[in-house]
Amino acid sequence: MKLPDHFRKRVGMTTIGVTLCAIAVGFFKCSSFGVDPFQSFAQGVWGRFFESFASYGVYYMVLSGLMLALDLLIARSYMGIATLVNMFLTGYIVDFSVWAIHSLFPAPGLLARIVFLAVGVLVMCFASSLYMTSNLGVSVYDAIPIVIAEKRRWPFRFVRIGCDLVCVAIGALSGLLPGVGTLITALFMGPLIEVFNHSFSLPFLYGKGNVHKLDKGSASKGNGTQGK
């Protein structure tokens, strides 16, 4: 049985990417500057409509399951190992990260919180670039802007900003006002993912000499993961 091209690199990028993304969420939470856009949507809707009926853990699992069902209809090719790891292991890694950061910095000041936010944003974007480029599956939320960019042939960075802002708006309308970190992530995550795609992830996976060809091919196909 022949393995996919660059399979070992892809597995490594997926594993490291998903792990780093969860660690980044831990830094995000410890910064106390707001949650990321998808969590703004998820936590806002839970607090407004479901908090009295179910715990957040149960609600989040159901929400992820519903989004997975939708993704299987419209984005089946983007579902894979990383999708399952994201769904079932991310929460545990986030909890461990928060515990470890609080153990090292039990009472962080404003400067430390700003550093946590900067680290969280940069690591999350780098990690997302790694596991998106590895093409072994993406999270149930990440698949949506990728598919929209691909189908409509729109630049991924703008589609991602639009999806993130919609999540922030729904969260705000549900009563969860966005923090500085939420807005920063919503506005800059798409462009930063593309920067990391071109500066590291694509050259690492395919080699520097092939990146230009991939960019031209992705532009003609409208592939959001390749960062048109």
CB neighbours of residue 70 within 10 Å: 13
> Per-residue pLDDT for the chain (228 aa), expressed as one digit of tens each?
555 567 788 888 988 998 998 899 889 889 999 888 998 999 899 999 998 988 887 888 889 889 999 988 888 888 888 888 777 777 788 889 989 999 999 999 999 999 999 999 999 999 999 988 888 888 889 899 989 999 899 998 899 999 999 999 999 999 988 889 899 989 998 899 999 999 999 999 888 766 655 554 444 333 444 333
* Cα angle, residue 43 at apex, residues 37 and 45 outer, rounded to 5°: 105
Q: How far apart are CA 192 and CA 114, in angstroms?
A: 18
User: Would you list the DSSP string of the chain?
Assistant: -PPPTTHHHHHHHHHHHHHHHHHHHHHHHHHTS---HHHHHHHHHIIIIITTTS-HHHHHHHHHHHHHHHHHHH-GGG-SHHHHHHHHHHHHHHHHHHHHHHHH-SS--HHHHHHHHHHHHHHHHHHHHHHHHHTS---TTTHHHHHHHHHHT--HHHHHHHHHHHHHHHHHHTT----HHHHHHHHHHHHHHHHHIIIIIHHHHH-HHHHHHHHHHHHHHT-GGG--
Report the pLDDT value the prediction gives residue 228, as an integer from 0 to 100: 34
Report the pLDDT value the prediction gives residue 224, as an integer from 0 to 100: 41
Q: Which two tokens stand for residue 78?
A: 């983007």
Report the pLDDT value the prediction gives residue 226, as an integer from 0 to 100: 39
Report the pLDDT value the prediction gives residue 66, as an integer from 0 to 100: 92
Report the pLDDT value the prediction gives residue 216, as an integer from 0 to 100: 46
Count of residues making up the chain = 228
Q: How far apart are CA 186 and CA 65, in angstroms?
A: 23
Report the pLDDT value the prediction gives residue 81, as an integer from 0 to 100: 80
pTM of the model: 0.77
Report the pLDDT value the prediction gives residue 7, as an integer from 0 to 100: 78
Q: Which amino acid is at 121?
A: V
Residue of 6, 59, 50, 35 whose CA lies nearest to 189: 35
Q: How far apart are CA 168 and CA 75, in angstroms?
A: 23
